[in-house]
Structure 1
């Protein structure tokens, strides 16, 4: 879940299932009554699945979603400004050793946390380029790249084209954040 509309849809489904929603955040829902019988849970899971969401009850899968949510928030909601490296940031926020988080993530996904972070940053670069409001230098600064050359190199490695070619292209393909 990566936008306000997604949160609204998820909250609506929980309410239709007869659950009192206290809070909906990216990747989590807090309900007043923690007892969710099997029948209601199954119905809720089916409805969420129809809309492209899933109900996570496994703690390992929850951790993976928390990692993804933190990275998405960091890259897309903020200015990617953290005063520490990604591993320390995730470790601190999730109160778990980074090696454990990294191993768990790699076991369940087809890529590492770092590759996921880079993919998210490149999607953000695509978004900012398509708005045509910032220079490549400003985008590099905004997303904490060490230089425009580093951003361009990473962009070409992921997309197969330079940022300039992407910007000039009439077909600016972007991926949905939850499909990365």
Structure 2
């Protein structure tokens, strides 16, 4: 979708964010919203929702880009990147998402561990290093706490499913 086709003049366009020169009328806003929905997107025009999405994006990028290591803790990283006090960010995130930033971060790390266990031929030690865990024991403990399984058992379940498919 081209903003210019809607009669809008973009000042800047980045992934997930567009700034335009004009103030939108209610008719233009409705048309723009309709076009976004056709693309499977939605307009976020309130500051709180935008900030929460930025928090989520930073966390997901941090987890997916395993070569990115936090030189500080997560709270300082988010505060520095978003220019807000971490307490404000944490309270806002909890209010909007119903979970803490830390739980969201941990859940995404564990999902990344699952992906690596299923799709990559990596040892637990390599995965722990890749995701900056202090040890395999720490990774295993968090994994078990969230999934009820050890990483090794999770991988064995995948291997059993593959063997069963080979027998079909």
TM-score normalised to the size of structure 1?
0.77
Aligned to 1:3: none
The CA distance in 2 between the partners of 1:13 and 1:160, in whole Å, is: 47
Equivalences for 1:18-57 in 2 at 5 Å?
Answer: 18-19=7-8, 22-25=12-15, 28-49=16-37, 51-57=39-45
Q: Max radius of gyration: which structure?
A: 2
Distance in 2, matches of 1:52 and 1:109, equals 21
Task: Flag structure 2 segments of 5+ consecutive residues without an equivalent.
Answer: 163-168
Structure with more contact order per residue of length (Cα contacts < 8 Å, sep ≥ 6): 1
8 A Cα contact 2:128 2:139, kept in partner: yes
Task: Give 1:106-125 correspondences, 5 Å limit.
Answer: 106-125=94-113
- Match of 2:138? 150
Secondary structure of the residue aligned to 1:169 is helix
- Measured after TM superposition, the shift of residue 14 of structure 1 is 4.7
Does residue 1:76 correspond to 2:59, yes or no? no
Once the two structures are TM-superposed, the CA of residue 34 in structure 1 deviates from its matched residue by 4.2
Corresponding position: 1:87 with 2:82: no
Higher mean C-alpha deviation, range 117-126 or range 71-80? 71-80
Is the partner of 1:165 in helix, strand or coil?
Answer: helix
Once the two structures are superposed, what CA deviation does each residue of 1:105-136 show, in whole Å capped at 9, x if it has no partner?
Answer: 11111210000000111111111112223211
CA distance in structure 2 between the aligned counterparts of 1:134 and 1:141, rounded to whole angstroms:
11
- 1:53, CA displacement in angstroms? 2.8
Q: Aligned equivalents of 2:7 and 2:153: distance in 1?
A: 51
Q: TM-score, normalised by structure 2?
A: 0.82
* CA distance in 1: counterparts of 2:156 and 2:8, whole angstroms: 49
**1:129 touches 1:167 (CA, 8 Å); kept in 2?**
yes
Unaligned runs of 5+ in 1: 1-11, 173-180
1:19, 1:126 → 2: CA distance?
43
Deviations 1:128-155 (A, max 9, x none): 1122232111111111111111111111
- The Cα of 1:35 is off from its aligned counterpart by 3.1
Instruction: Provide the aligned C-alpha RMSD in A.
Output: 2.3
Q: How many corresponding residue pairs?
A: 159
